[in-house]
Structures are given as C-alpha cells and as structure tokens.
Structure 1
Amino acid sequence: MPQNTVSVIIPVYNVEAFIEECIESVLKQTHPDIELLLINDGSTDRSGEICDRFAKEDNRIRVIHQPNSGPSAARNNGLQAATGEYIQFIDADDTIHPEMIERFMASIGSHSLLISGYCSVLKQNGEIYHSIQNQLPLIGEFSKQEFLANFTDLYPHFFIHYVWNKFYRTSFIKEAGLQFNPRVDWGEDLLFNLEVIERCSSIRLVEGGLYNYTHSNTESITSQFREDFFDNMQMMQNMTRDFLKRNGCYHGYIKDNFERYYTSRVMLVFWNLFHPKSTLMEIEKKQQITRIVQDDQVKESLAYFYDAEEDKRLVGNMIHQQMIDQLYDFFAVKSQVRMQQESKEEKWI
C-alpha cells in the first residue's frame, strides 16, 4: 500500500437498501489512496452479494465474510486486516462528503486522533426530508489536558460517543492493542474512544460536518424499546465518570456538566419504560422504577435534577421521596401526550 493510504472499515449487516450509496460515497473520495474493507457480518439479505460485486469492479475493495458476530467483532476484523496508515469507520447506512478523507488528511499532522462535526440527515422514503449541521463548539489543536478541560462541552452533543466522526492513526491503535468489546452491543464506540483519548498526547478538532449520519422517522419515540436501557446507560456513564476521575478532571464545571447530562439520561430511562413497544406490564414497570429511584448513583446525582426545567425538577422530587406510583402516572400520561404529538407531526411529512 502507498504511504498515506486510509483504511475505511464498514461493518455490513442486512443493509441492502443502503450499502450501495454508502460504498459509492467512499469510492468518490477526492483522496484516492484508500482501501475499503467491507466486513459482511453474516447478512441474510443481498448485502454480501452487493459487496462482492463492488469488489470485482474496484481493486481498492476487500470483502471479509464472517458469521454474524455483531459490529464490534466486525470492526475488530477490519482493524486486524487494515494496512493503511490511517483508519476511518463508517456505518453502512450512512454516507460521507467527497472531500471528507482529503480534509482529514490535510489536518492529521502528528496527531493520533481527529474529531469532526457531522450532519444529521432525516430521510423519508429514500429522500432527504431535513438535515442539521452539528458543528463542534471549538476548533484547533489541543493537548490531552486542554481537550479534557472542554470534554463536557463536546460529550452531551455526541461528538465523543461515535467512531464515524473520527480519524485514527493505525499504528497508534495497533501498538496500544485497542479493540472494540464484543460483549457490549450498545455504547461500544464510546468505550473505544475513551481508551483512545486516554492514550493521546494531543487531539485535533476539525471544522465542518462532512459525515452524513442518516436516520428516518422510524427512530422516533414510536419505534424503539430497550429492556436493558437502564443497565446499559449506567455502564456507559459510569465508565465515563470513572474516566474523568482517573484523568483528574471530575470537578467544578466539568463535573456539573456531566452530571446534568447523566440526569437527562435517567429521564430517558423513564421514558423508555413507557415506550409504545414496551413489553413490560404495569407491575414490571413499577419494579424498574423502584430500581432506578433506589440506585445509589441516581440518588448521589439527585441535586442535578433540581437545576433544570420544571418536569425534571418534579421528577427529582418524586425520586427523592420514593414516589413510585406518582412517577408511573407522570410518565404514563406524558408518554401518551408525546405519542399523540409525534403522530400529528408525522402526518405532515
């Protein structure tokens, strides 16, 4: 491989409706020195065939077929196979701007990690309905400590969480032996990035949102329910809190910002219990509510419920007083109102 080659790693699983557009956005890059690693994770639709067809047409593409093992295992296989000097991850239902890799290459310098903004694209029936540029609040080169001083200006807006708005130096990743945890199926990106950041001496934040994170209205409140939401959320936030403590920056402004974000995630856990696709009976929801209000970390962060909007202050008070039935009634009513509102909005799309 020539110098300055970028290994683009895309896990592929049952995305036949999206994968062609994703691949084409990579092949159209103005920086030509790429290898595209398509990791077919046991797809049962035509995704694997589409990948193989593209590989026959362009020698920069390699397809790796594996039994279905999840995105972490797919990315790990991609890391192992990567021969480029740099690594970029892309999700198979997203696309990238034609100049994304070229602009990253112009910014990497001696850094091991680049972070950029991104564009949230809402599609309906394959057409772009709405797009939002999520721009970084600050740009430039930062030492690790300077970066950590601004960590919670980035974290609540999901600039830290994902791997697809980042650019990694391959030697840095491989020499540190960094991999994705295959036992984690939600939040594995964040855990990987925290390990990367912890080992970096400097990080560059790059202007622009050249990654198109694509989603549809099927990702509204009416579509997803996660029975393990509380446990997974606690794992992710505890790992981040420990990361901040370990790096000596869990205090003052950073601590306050993080805990405000944490209590917002607790609010989402309550919302999740009342999701329209929830499989939980009333008694099970109340058991989950009891778990939440009796959790030591929730109680320790209780003060941050009061430094917020009215609904959050009210929920904080009910948590403090262990008002299980009242919390149940509050979110049951609120979720019905919220669903009705979303239903009205969707009719206008």
Structure 2
Amino acid sequence: MKQNELVSIIVPVYNAEQYLEHCFQSIADQTYTNLDVVVVDDGSTDRSAELCDEWAKRDPRFHVTHQSNQGVGAARNKGLVCAEGKYIAWVDSDDWIESDWIEQLYARIERYHADMVSISRGFRKHPEQDVLLKYKAIIKNDNEFARELWSTFTRREIFRGLIFQNFQIGEDACFLTQARAECNKVVLCYQKGYHYRVNDNSLVHSFQLQSMYSWVDSLEYREEIVRKEHPEYVKYMHWTLAIDAATIIRFCRGHHQEKGVPELEWRVRKIIARHIFRIRYSMLTSKAIHDTLAALKCLLLG
C-alpha cells in the first residue's frame, strides 16, 4: 500500500505509566508507518511524562507536549493544534491497537474519498459490509455510529474550528456530532483491532455524582448545539439522546437515596421525555427498538 499521506495519532496521557509501553509499542508497530504521533502529557504526577520523553528519543515519529493538568478535552485540543497529518486518529493511553489498525482505516478513507471513517455499533443487518453515507444520511444514521473518539479516522480539515468541551463524560459524543455534521461523506464500517481496556475505577464504570451531572450537561449541550447549528438534524437525534439519557438512569440504580441523585434523575427523565415519543420507529432496527423500550422503562419506572 502507498503511504503518501501523513497520519497523526493523538494520544492524551494522564497517569498511565502502567499502560504506556504497551500502548506506544502498538502504535510504533503499525504496518502504516508514515505517522505523526502527537503525545500530550496532561500534567501527570507518576512516571508518565518521563516515559513519554523516552519514547520521543526512541522513535522520531513521537512528539511530546507537556502541559499542566487541564483535563482530557484540553489535552485533545492541544493535540489538534500540534497535529500535522492529513488525517487524524485517536488512541487513549491505556488502550492498544492491532498492527494493521491504521492501515485498514486509511485504506477505506482513500478508497471512498471520504471525510471520516467511523466504526459501526453493529445494529445493521449486515454490519460487516462497508456503507458510504452522504450528506443527510450521515446524521440520519446517527444511531449506527460508535460514540467513542477512537472509533473514527478523519480528515484534519473537518475539525477546523471545533473544540472539545470540558465534560467529564460525554465529550466524545458532543465533538463527533459536530464533526459529522461537517462531513460530506462518512464510511460506516465494522473493523476490529482497537482494544479498549476496561478500568473499573474510570468515570464511565463507577458512580460519581459529579461525573453523572457532567454527563447530563454534555447531553443538554449536544441537544442545544444541534438545535442551534443544525436544526434540520434534530429529528434524527431523538433516539441517541433518549438512549444515552437512559444509560445515566441505569447508573443511578442503587443510589436513589444519596444527596443530589433525585434531582439528577429528574433532569435525565426530562431529556428522555423530550425525545422518546418523537422517535421514528420505522428508522430503527429490532435491536434499536429493544433499547428504546428499555429507555421507556427507565422513564416510567426508573
């Protein structure tokens, strides 16, 4: 395969010393070698900063920037400023990728002359088949896209003018909703090769009230930004907003008596109620309909 185009891989790092060697080695071992690895150390207090600098000495494709701790959103924004590649990929510092991950995504974006390649959630009847979505079909199929930033491979120009907001949870979905609205062509594909490490102490796998409130803030921001900037797409967002809100309700189970939780659940149920009765069920697969009914149960029963 020709490797004419530089690909930037942005890796935000914060206190990930036990995972960095595996993560960085998997990037260094990519079969697509024309890489610009943008590592942003977000004020780590362990040995992460030292390990990042060591890798910059070992591999000239690794470029490290250090900043005071400002959060993963700020680290990603810094990464976008520093990135020089035609295309942008993302890897979290505690995860790792198969050796052909970048090659496979690069091949697709070049083959279809697309703005973005996005991993499918697998709801379609034949999820293993690539689907090229154009214009309105991109937002119309929003429920098909994975929510995480690592699931995308994008032309850098698409991100011009976009910034990550400072949410503890949900900032990926907010950013990608805005980014996809700027795309003319998106390839929806089913590609294995990214290994997401489950950390039971992470914000998305443990109940922390402040994080839950931040998650609700991100949903309301996502709803507001679509209404303001892309009102024609609102009718296609009802499903994803209702389902994501129902996920928060499920996290609250077992914590109903804790201070602040009833108020949180009330805000979340208002989001579900605004959207669940406006969903176009003819657009949904059987799996998506099942998830919708589960969200309705969260609204009615908690």
**Could you say which TM-score interval applies, normalised by the shorter chain?**
0.7 to 0.9
Q: Which residue of 1 aligns with 2:188?
A: 205
- Cα separation, 2, equivalents of 1:209 and 1:189: 20
Counterpart position of 2:58: 57
Q: Aligned ranges for residues 1-349 of structure 1 at < 5 Å? A: 3-109=4-110, 110-117=113-120, 136=127, 139-152=130-143, 154-155=144-145, 159=146, 161-173=147-159, 176-181=160-165, 183-216=166-199, 223-230=206-213, 232-233=215-216, 235-236=218-219, 239-240=222-223, 243=226, 246=230, 248-251=232-235, 254=236, 258-259=238-239, 262-275=241-254, 282=258, 284-289=260-265, 295=270, 297-301=271-275, 303=277, 316-317=299-300
RMSD of equivalent CA atoms? 3.5
Equivalent position SS for 2:210: coil
| TM-score normalised by structure 1 residue count | 0.69
- In structure 1, the gaps of 5 or more residues are 120-134, 319-326, 328-349
Which residue identity lines up with residue 92 of structure 2 in the other structure? D
CA gap of 1:151–1:66, structure 2 versus 1, over 3 A, is same
1:337 maps to none
Output the CA distance in 2 between the equivalents of 1:62 and 1:71: 18
Describe the SS at the equivalent of 1:108: helix
The alpha carbon displacement at 1:179 in A equals 2.2
- Aligned AA for 1:167? F
Aligned partners of 1:241 and 1:250 also within 8 Å: no
Q: Distance between the aligned counterparts of 2:275 and 2:263, measured in 1?
A: 21
Summarize the Cα distance change of 1:217–1:40 in structure 2 as closer, same or farther, 3 Å threshold: closer
2:150 partner letter? W
| Inter-partner Cα distance in structure 2 for 1:171 and 1:222 | 33
Number of residue-to-residue matches in the alignment? 284
Q: Distance in 2 between matches of 1:40 and 1:224?
A: 26
C-alpha distance in 2, partners of 1:264/1:116? 19
Percentage of pairs with the same residue? 24
| CA offset digits 1:209-257 (Å, max 9, x no partner) | 2211121455699843233525633542662486389353544xx46xx
- Please give the secondary structure, in 2, of the residue aligned with 1:68: coil
CA offsets 1:97-132 (integer angstroms, 9 cap, x no match) = 10111112211122221112589xxxxxxxxxxxxx
For normalisation by structure 2, the TM-score amounts to 0.78
